[in-house]
A and B are shown apart, each in its own frame.
Chain A
C-alpha cells in the first residue's frame, strides 16, 4: 500500500506501540483487500475491547484484562501494548446485556461484573458508550460523503444508503485499529465507482408499511446477495424506521451494504443516476408471488402457535416505535404464558421515560431493555421454545442461534401474540 509520511511514522511507532500495531493490522487488511491507500476517518463505530470472561481467560498469560484483549484480539498483535486514550470520534455499538435487567436476561453476577469493568475501560479510553446497533438514533449521524468506519451491518447499510455517508461493513478488529490510527483502507464504498447500482428490482407489490418494507428488504438480500440493488416502483411512505427495517433485512438475507431507491435515497434521484452509467445487471420482479414466498420463507421456522416469547426492537426501536408499542399495549397485559421484551438504546430509552411510553410498556408486564438484543446476548426468557418477531433480521438469526421456533409478522400481530400467548399472524 502507498503510505503517507504520517502513516509511515505511525507504523514505525512515532505515536506509540498501540498505534503502530493498529497501522500494522490496517496495512495487512488493506493489502488483503487490494486497497492502494487509506482514507482519513474521524467517525468510528465498533465494539472495542469488550469481551466475555472466557476470552480474557484465554489471554491469561498476557494479563487477562481489557488491555490484553484489545492488544491480542482487537489489534491482532503478538504482544500486549498499552492502549492510549482515543481522541477520534469513536463509539461503542451494542453490548452483551442490559445494565439493569441483566438478571432477567439470565446473566450471572460474574458476567455483569465483567460487563461493568469493560464499560469503565471503554469510557476511560474516551469512547462514547452508545451501546446500540442504531448509532444514528443515539447521537452519531454522519453527513453526506463523510468517510466512516462502522461495524454493524444494519447501521452500515443505513449510513451508505439513507445518509450518503461512506463506510464498508467493517469488523471489530478494523474498527478498533481505526479508533487509534484514524485510517481505514480506501476501498469499496469509500470510492464513487463502487457505489453504483448493479441490479434492478422492480417493485410491483405495494410496499408502504414497515412490515412490507421489511419483507421487501429480506427478498432484496436473497435476490442480489452482496450486490447493490436499485429499487424502483411501488415503494411509498418512506421513513427512517422503514429504511432501518429494510436495510437490516437485506443485510441479513444477503450481504447488502448499500441500496438505491429511485427518487427516495440521496444518491438515486433517478434509476439512471443510481446506475451511474453502468450497465444494469439482472432484473428482478417483486410481485405478489415473491412477497408471499418471502413471507413463507421467514415463517418456515414456526410450527407451534403457542408463543412464549415476543421480541421487538431489532434494530433497536426508535422513540416513535416505542410510542407505538405503548399505544398497542395500553390497558393490556402480557399473557402469563408469554413474555415481551423490547430493545432500544439508552438514549432512546431516556426519551421514552420522559414521554411516558416506557411506563406504559412496563405496566403491561413487558420489559424495556437496552444495550443488546436476544441474538447478540443469546438471552431469551428461560424455557423459550417459540418466539415471534416483527423483524426479518431477528427472525433470520435468533431461531438458528438458539434452536427455537420463530414467527415473523407485524408489530400488532406480535403484541397480540404476547398478550394472548397465541400466534395469529397471516399475510394480509
Chain B
C-alpha cells in the first residue's frame, strides 16, 4: 500500500496519538457516528446499520474518517474481529473520544489520531489519499486520490 508521495499534500492536520504507527491509503469518510456490534458485518468489513449513509460499503483496507463510535459495548470486539478476518480498516481518524473508539483502535492496532487542530470531516472526502503518521501526530491528505 505504501507509496512515495510525488507532490506535497493538499492538507495537513495535526492530532493526538491514540495508537502509534504509520499508515497510508484511501479515505472512507462519514459524518455519522458508527455502531460496532450490530452496525458492521465483521466478516465483510461492511457497514450494515439501517439508515446509515455508508450502509453496504466496506471499510476494509481503508482509512476510516468518522466523528466517533456509538451503540453497543461490543464495538471494540467487533472491530477487533475484523482484524482476525482481514477486513479491518488500516487507520482511524475520529473526533470524539469514547471508550469504544479508543479501545477499538488499540486492539485493531491500526495507526489512529484524534483531538485535531482542524476537523478532518471538513477536509477529507471519500476517495482522498491519506497518510497517518500517528507517532508524529500528522495527517497528510491528497485530494482526489493517490498522488
Contacts and interface: CB of A to CB of B under 8 A. Distances in A.
Interface string A318-333: 0000000000000000
A174 B49 contact: no
A73 B81 CA distance: 9
B68 A32 contact: no
A171 B50 contact: no
Interface in B2-28: 16, 18-19
Interface residues of A, number: 39
Contacts of A226: 33, 68, 70, 96, 98
Contacts of B103: 29, 32, 170-171, 173-174
A127 interface: no
Contacts of B48: 400-401
Given A76-B107, A171-B99, A173-B76, 7 more contacts: A76-B109, A173-B107, A225-B70, A252-B71, A252-B72, A255-B70, A396-B38
A34 interface: yes
Nearest to B19: A32
A396 B48 CA distance: 12
A168 B76 CA distance: 13
Interface in A1-55: 25, 28-29, 32-34, 47, 55
Main secondary structure of the interface of A (DSSP, over half): helix
B38 A400 contact: yes
Q: How large is the interface on B (under 10, 10 to 19, 20 to 34, 35 or more residues)?
A: 35 or more
A152 interface: yes
B69 interface: yes
Contacts of B100: 169, 171, 255
Query: What are the 8 A-B residue pairs with the smallest beta carbon separation, nearest first?
Result: A171-B76, A255-B70, A32-B102, A151-B73, A172-B77, A397-B38, A168-B99, A171-B103
B104 A58 contact: no
B75 A171 contact: yes
Contacts of A165: none
Contacts of B69: 255
Contacts of B98: 169, 226, 255
Interface in B25-52: 33, 35, 38-39, 48-51
Contacts of B99: 33, 168-171, 174, 187-188
Contacts of B105: 32
Interface string A204-241: 00000000000000000000011000000000000000
A387 interface: no
A171 B104 contact: yes
B80 interface: yes
A376 to B, nearest CB: 9
A251 interface: yes
B3 to A, nearest CB: 28
A34 B18 CA distance: 8
Interface in B62-86: 68-77, 80-81, 84
